[in-house]
Structure 1
């Protein structure tokens, strides 16, 4: 099986990285973790990620696992994904893998009402020279856009931990409204991130738990003063 590498970059959330590595140790052979030192409120996300992908490709990575430092895969994901990757390699087919995206509200509950239950991400894919990626400055798909890829729904969960903190939920809404005031990149806008009308929470079952367990993480206070 080809080399599997976890790819990410960080800025204000370095404290998440130790558990990020532990969460992926049963899946990934290596980690490529870059500190974002470009500064400013935002840079071109698409171009930034493509440089990360190119570096991993040049280092011999065959499969990319693209999660942010504050995202976790459920514990059983490693075994399942390795089986799916081996199968794709054996059959010599181009496949990318889709996951449920769960926005955590407590240490063991995620929001599941309305739009919250329909969030998905494609974060595991082969790094091929012919891959075509989005150049979007914001909310870019992390995966290649080539039409000849088969998308496999793994029904595995990704858990987004930073959303547990109410202050970070508010900050997320405020930053996106500033960056995308005309809602060019997300037509529904961002107020929904802090709207708790009709909120429903689902508890993570033991079978679908993630490890290490959630703890309070330190966030660099500079995140709240970006201009």
Structure 2
């Protein structure tokens, strides 16, 4: 799959991003993907490439562009143990400084950029996200109900903004939670909020997983969890975008 780097003008500056898409001369449904808190790196390019192989134009944003272009910080090839703690120490100030208002400004710019690409089919799009990026995907879907038809978030704090923040979502949604992030009681409370918001959704704990289970370059990686993620994500996109 071709990988194209892009510069996206936003209200707060220029955001760097990359896109993966089929090189077949056809138009394909658009997907805006938000990385996990570690940001853009080889594993995100691999995941975007895999999704593109299923017939999607996948745009991946450097959500920390206000602090510099990719790579915003130096990352080890494998993020685990003491290295994981050191990386988090650098990234947490960036995550904590990222406001909901910034998310919405970025979403406006990225969705406009995505849908203007000649390889993107006119019509609804999807948003996906991992970890902190799953929260950004959820905010994007709530802010663009007439444009976002599918929402998927994995090991993400999707309820962090409170139940009222879910009310605008009209997309079909899937939330895949790490077993270390939610108890069954937490899941029940979240699902009641999703039901109250009228969201067509599935929301489940992936057994035996830790926070970050989709990312193969971290010590949280779980191969079965990643497979389950694809088994949920691909049918969701197929049903909502085709």
What TM-score do the two structures reach when normalised by structure 1? 0.37
CA radius of gyration, larger in? 1
Return the structure number with greater relative CO, CA threshold 8 A, min gap 6: 1
What TM-score do the two structures reach when normalised by structure 2? 0.35
